[in-house]
Amino acid sequence: MFTDRRSKKIILVAQCILNQNAKIDGCAHYPGAIEGVAEVLIRSGCGIVQLPCPEVMHLGLDRGVDKHAARTIESEDTRVWKRMSQGEARMTCRKIAEETVYQVQEYVNNGFEVCGMIGINGSPTCGVEVCWKDGQEVPGIGIFIQELDKACQGVGLNLRFKGIRASEPSIGVTVARMMLIPPE
């Protein structure tokens, strides 16, 4: 089965890697995709699974911002972290994670190689090595990545995670290339 030209390789990416329009106001570094990373992924022949943005899915594109309040990127990330870390918002992250794991299992069960998942460091939801929490950037994983990792572990799926920053395009390109190489 699947004997056509497909590579039978996929990589999962956070929504804003291919769509900076999904970013919180003031955080987009590109008009569309993070160009170098997107180019590496496309040229690799690997299929790209763009994950939904949990923040957009639960809070909306504007993240429910008070347009009349004084805002900074830090205050908005803190507000988003607080809202996304509890109750229904966390359930949204869990639901997306479970749906993602089902999809990944389908690929694995059909002989595909899953290269891993690239998240966005500094994000309250999609940070991998560092995330935003309690008013500051801290070492650790974001809320959605926590739920995705937990869902993977629940079914015995070993998914590699690595984060990039849109503000560091050359490092992002290096990470994308590294993720496309199977671990030893």
Spatial CB neighbours of 92, under 8 Å, sequence gap ≥ 6 = 54, 57, 58
Q: What is the mean predicted confidence (pLDDT) over 154-176?
A: 94
Give the pLDDT of residue 25.
87
Predicted confidence (pLDDT) at residue 183 exceeds the cutoff of 80: no
Per-residue pLDDT band at 176 (split at 50, 70, 90):
very high
What fold characterizes domain 9-179?
Rossmann fold (3.40.50)
Instruction: Check the CA dihedral 61-21-118-75 and report its sign.
Output: negative
Q: What is the mean predicted confidence (pLDDT) over 60-81?
A: 87
Instruction: Give the max Cα distance, the chain.
Output: 57
Q: What is the mean predicted confidence (pLDDT) over 157-181?
A: 93
Q: Whole-model pTM?
A: 0.94
Q: What is the mean predicted confidence (pLDDT) over 41-56?
A: 97
Which tokens belong to 34?
């993070």
CA dihedral 68, 69, 71, 76 (to 10 degrees): -100
Which tokens belong to 179?
């993720």
What is the per-residue pLDDT across 7-34, written as a single tens digit (0 to 9) for each? 999 999 999 999 999 999 889 999 999 9
* Rounded (5°) CA angle 151-95-167: 80
Give the pLDDT of residue 73.
85
Which tokens belong to 144?
């959605």
